[in-house]
Structure formats: C-alpha cells, structure tokens
Amino acid sequence: MQLTTETVRTAVAAALIEDQAADDVTTRWSVPEALQVEATMIAKQPGRVAGLPAVQEVYAAVDPTVTVRAAVADGDPVVPGQPLAWISGAARSVITGERVALNFAQRMSGIATLTSAFVAAIGARPVRLLDTRKTAPGLRAMDKYAVTCGGGTNHRFDLSAMVLLKENHLAAAGGVLPAVRRVRDGMTAEDNGMAIEVEVTTAEEACEALDCQVEWILLDNMSAEQMALIVERRNTSGSTARLEASGNITLDTIAEVAASGVDAISVGALTHSPTAIDISLLVTRSHG
C-alpha cells in the first residue's frame, strides 16, 4: 500500500502531542535559541529501511524551516554506519523532533527488515507473504506500508475490506456451510458482493469450504503435510479457491509451509512483535 500525506500527518500529529513536543522544557532551557545544527540519521545495524516519509513529516510539523534530505529510499537495504537522512536547521527543533522521528523509523524499519527475512526464506516459490490486522493501534497504515517496504503483501486492511469467517463466526453461525450461506444472504440483501475467506482447522472443514466455492480458505495451525493434502484435494476438485496458511509460522518453518503448495502465508509477527532497528540521530556540526 501507499501512504497518503494525510495518513502520515495524522499519525505524526498524535505522536507529537503524546510527546508534548510543543513544551520540550529540557531543550528550551539548555539549547541556545539561535543555534543551527546539521545532523545525520544513521543505521546502527543491517536492515531494510521504512518510515522516511514519517521522519520528514515530523520535522515539517515541528518546524517547517528544518530541512530533511533522504540518503536512501524506503525499501532499501542498509548496513551499519550508513546514513539514512541528513537533517539541518534550528538545534532546538532538530532535537525536539528526534525521538518521535526515530520511533517511526525504528519501528517501521524493524517491520520491513523482518518481512524481508521471511520473503527471503520463502525463496523463489510462487507464494505471497501476507500481513494481518495484528498491528499497533492507530498505526495500521504505517505498519502495513512497512510490510510492503520489506517485500510483503497486505492482507485486508480492516473489517470492511472482505469477509473472513474465523472460528468464532463459525461457532456462532453453526459451522462452515451455514456461515457462508448467511454471508451470501447478507451480501444479496445489501447488494454488496465481495470475496469470502473461511478459516478452517481440519481437513473436513477445508472440504466443506471447497464445496462452498469460496474465494479463499485459511488453513490455520495445520502441519505442512496436512496442507499439502488439502492443496492436492483443491487441485483435483477443480476448485479455484486460493489457500492461505497461517498460525505460528516462523523463519524456521516458513520454507516447509511454502513447499506445501499454498498460495499465500500470513504471519502476524510481522507487525505484532517486530524488533525495532537500531537507528541514531547524531548532531555532526553546529553554528550560530
């Protein structure tokens, strides 16, 4: 997905309010008002970059006279010591915006870096790596954008984007067949057709979903062997349903899952527990 200016601006505004950037007492009382500085944002470890639009928006909001020049582009791989951006302007403004700018860059680069590692583990297999809705509250667009910077693909953005019948929906509706039937009745009543995906945990449920001719079937917490059998059943049945694997898939197991023949693999860890990349912002020169 592409980030809109409004999306970035909204996220940055909330972060600056949270940090009380307009009342940075430490900087206001310790840094000379007229001092100008040049600073460099530097990668401290290898990774994949994401979040530079947020860095630029942070400084545009803190002080429009501050200049931010990107040294790399989102999605680029970086090595330790590599500059990510050069920032120049009033020292107070550069320092006040530092933490919020780094928070965005570090988290988003962490997501992009983890995503790129999963993509590399899948290798040349024709399998898409998908994210989930397990994102930081208020930062979904930023998190999902970072996934694309790492080479991943976005799953549904929100609850209105498609139908995804999960275990609690199936339990409440009485099973796969009645749940799908009710969804299709609802689509007809509201004249709002869209793709249907059904989460299944057993081969029996998977067969029911295939019989329902839904667009996607989510194979949750199944072994690679179980998934391979369902892939074979799908292929021999003439069904056009695409198969998605999910459930505690790690860098150690994703290659085996991809080899089962599924069409996509979703990994919640991409956004619910990324490790932030170590990035620093260092003043390199001052004058005035």
> For 248-283, what is each residue's pLDDT tens digit?
999 999 999 999 999 999 999 999 999 999 999 999
Residue 133 lies in a domain: no
d(CA 266, CA 166): 14
pLDDT at 208: 96
CATH at residue 224: 3.20.20.70
**First-to-last CA distance in the chain?**
42
Q: Are residues 174 and 92 in the same domain?
A: no
pLDDT at 285: 87
**Any idea how long the chain is?**
288
pLDDT at 1: 75
d(CA 288, CA 284): 14
Q: Per-10-residue mean pLDDT for the chain, 288 residues long? A: 92 98 97 97 98 98 98 98 98 98 98 98 97 97 98 97 97 97 97 97 96 97 97 95 96 97 98 97 89
d(CA 228, CA 258): 10
Q: Which of 38, 44, 76, 99 is catalytic?
A: 99
Q: How many domains does the chain have?
A: 2
Q: Which of 9, 44, 125, 134 is catalytic?
A: 134
Identify the DSSP state of 247: S
What is the pTM assigned to this prediction? 0.96
Look up 99 and say whether it is catalytic: yes
Residue 194 lies in a domain: yes
Look up 181 and say whether it is catalytic: no
d(CA 159, CA 285): 49
Q: Are residues 115 and 198 in the same domain?
A: no
- Mutual angle of helices 203-211 and 224-237, in 10-degree steps: 20
Range of the structural domain that residue 101 is part of: 5-119+275-287
pLDDT at 23: 97
Q: What are the residues facing 76 on neighbouring strands?
A: none
pLDDT at 94: 98
Residue 118 structure tokens? 């999963």
pLDDT at 286: 86
Look up 199 and say whether it is catalytic: yes
Q: How many CB atoms lie within 10 A of CB 239?
A: 17
Look up 234 and say whether it is catalytic: no
Q: Are residues 76 and 26 in the same domain?
A: yes
Contacts of 102 (CB under 8 A, 6+ apart): 41, 279, 280, 281
Look up 220 and say whether it is catalytic: yes
